[in-house]
Amino acid sequence: MSVPLETEPVETALLRRLRAFVLLLFLLGLLGAGAELLLLGHTEDRWQYTPLVLMALALLVLGWRVIDRRRVNLRIFQVLMLAWIVSGFIGLWLHYKANIEFELEMYPDLKGLALFWKAIKGTTPPSLAPGTMIQLALLGLVYTYRHPALTRKERKEN
């Protein structure tokens, strides 16, 4: 058994195809979720613009990646995916809070576990919908996991 002289990891054709497939899933999810948010009019206040802005930024960074293959855009993409995760959790809280307020308007005496279940099952806004941002961000992070551009050293160009 021979040991390769290079210390850089070699990405196989299978891994490249899997990475491309994960990126395709991410892009399809991003475009689908973005279209849904726009069709639903998810633009009433600044908080509602947050996922749309984060989606646009992800598209810009990935477009930059097509033009420039350096690691910096992958690092920015990773940071952006962390922002997506934070945004998803904030969205979950905001949707839940809005549903609590709605349920209390409808049923002022509701409290405890009964209020929780009513709010979590709420559909306007859907309580768990922001979880999509978290799920897509995790897909984005899987795309960058051990990416060859992040593991090999870049040569300085003079």
- Look at residue 132 in the predicted model and tell me its pLDDT: 96
Burial class (CB in 10 A: 0-12, 13-18, 19+), 154: exposed
Closest listed residue to residue 36, CA positions, set 97, 125, 138: 125
- Look at residue 157 in the predicted model and tell me its pLDDT: 47
12 pLDDT exceeds 90? no
Question: pTM for the complete prediction?
Answer: 0.85
154 pLDDT exceeds 70? no
Question: pLDDT tier at 51 (50, 70, 90 boundaries)?
Answer: very high
Phi, psi of 66 (to 5 degrees): -65, -40
Pick the more confident residue, 152 or 103. Answer: 103
Specify whether the backbone of 19 is left (phi greater than 0), alpha (psi in -120 to 50) or beta.
alpha
9 vs 147: CA distance, rounded Å: 9
55 pLDDT exceeds 60? yes
Q: Which residues sit opposite 126 in a β-bridge? A: 123
What's the rounded mean pLDDT across residues 95-115? 94
pLDDT tens-digit profile of 20-50? 999 999 999 999 999 999 999 999 999 999 9
2 vs 84: CA distance, rounded Å: 43
131 pLDDT exceeds 90? yes
